[in-house]
A and B are shown apart, each in its own frame.
Chain A
């Protein structure tokens, strides 16, 4: 039986791992390779690694870092950050990543996704949607550049287009819930689920396995991603990499 995926999401900033709150106040977690090694031992379902500097610094992906991470990964790896061309995506797959995530470049030019799909397969094309409420009607708008740049694009309008193209996966990332650890944005997931036929992963807000359980009980086959939950322990947020065992996951 196919199972929901429980996915640690790691943010790379200045070559180290950090964890943010509402995309701000980044706290240093440790060395990326070391973290990947620990997640290997814990046999995590999948791993998302996002370079949060690349787009902001107007540079491409850090292939050396991707290579070093991919060498260690004995699980599927989704890499995102600064990918703007077909060649870059192809190179990332050749280095051993299964999935390439796009955000700013896809919002600027959605056709890029089709071009990339022709080469690496649409199933490996992922779009990360960083969103928050905006304006007096609280419309959910997409943001880029670590949540600093408003795009004027409504999240659901964009998901409709992604569904038409048939990309492999969308990652719904609530900027407001990032690092808060008080639950996923279930109502947005529900609306997105009604629009998008393919695999979805939800990020932002998970504070306990109960939060993951709420998501998987409601949506069954879904990706439950989390940052803080898998790198912090206790209310003072001491850094401790952790992940549920296969048996624990079965109880979810």
Chain B
């Protein structure tokens, strides 16, 4: 069973559509009690950092999320802004993040990007797997995934890097620290690669 956190932001349906297609059981949790029995959690996010963080703060889900992830250590997968929320802070906003991962979210430096288009980094890009993970079993790294973002995470510890991607400069496109997984791209919109990744997560 995969539990998708519905705190009022994000493409929940895009994710559940895939699980429906794969015939993998899922549940959409919007109340704290509904998270108590979760075995695996997906934390999505669309919009700006503060918009998502304030939605999460107001949802009443933060406390149980912190416990499930940091104490019970159940697998969690952050997607896009969901990855950003796991960091300590973001240049995109003033609210503190969840702090599950040591790192800060930065904006790509437009002045350092030589070619147009500059931002957002948008489209299909390949990935390079840095630390082998079941999450990327059966994935075509060259085909890669669909990205749409202007911010990326700068990690304090290199060992938390799961994948990197190049957009004129290398950036971290996937992180893994014990039970915590997060990806900058959108598996729910990345055809067979994305479906495979979401399936792999359900089997962790």
Interface residues of A (CB under 8 A from B): 1-5, 40, 43, 45-46, 70-71, 73-77, 93-96, 98, 118-121, 123-124, 166, 168-169, 193, 196-200, 220-223, 246
Contact = CB atoms under 8 A, between A and B. Distances in A.
A93 B167 CA distance: 26
B181 interface: no
A197 B195 contact: no
B111 to A, nearest CB: 11
Interface of B: 11-14, 17-18, 21, 46-48, 51, 81, 110, 115-126, 143, 146-150, 166-167, 186, 189-192, 194-195
Nearest to A95: B13
A64 to B, nearest CB: 14
Contacts of B18: 74
Given A74-B191, A197-B117, A246-B143, A121 B123 contact: no
Contact of B123 (A43, A74, A196, A221): A221
Contacts of A199: 117, 120, 122-123
Nearest to B50: A118
Contact of B146 (A76, A96, A168): A76
B118 A75 contact: no
B48 A118 contact: yes
B8 to A, nearest CB: 10
Nearest to B149: A123
Contacts of B150: 123
A129 to B, nearest CB: 16
8 contacts: A43-B192, A74-B190, A76-B186, A123-B148, A200-B117, A221-B123, A222-B117, A246-B143
A5 B47 contact: no
Nearest to A193: B116
**Chain A binding surface SS class:** loop
Nearest to B15: A96
B186 A98 contact: yes
B195 A168 contact: no
Contacts of A118: 48, 51
A197 B194 CA distance: 29
A7 to B, nearest CB: 10
Contacts of A121: 46-48, 51, 81
A219 to B, nearest CB: 8
Contact of B17 (A4, A71, A198, A221): A71
Query: Which 4 A/B pairs are nearest by Cβ-Cβ distance?
Result: A96-B14, A123-B120, A199-B117, A96-B13
Contacts of B13: 70-71, 94-96
Contacts of B119: 123, 166, 197-198
A204 B18 CA distance: 32
Given A70-B14, A118-B48, A123-B122, 8 more contacts: A70-B17, A76-B146, A94-B12, A96-B13, A124-B148, A198-B118, A199-B117, A199-B120
A246 B81 CA distance: 28
Contacts of B115: 220-221
A98 B80 CA distance: 12
B79 to A, nearest CB: 12
B47 A96 contact: no
Given A74-B191, A76-B186, A5 B124 contact: yes
Nearest to A71: B17
A75 B123 contact: no
A46 B166 CA distance: 20
A223 B11 CA distance: 23
Nearest to A42: B191
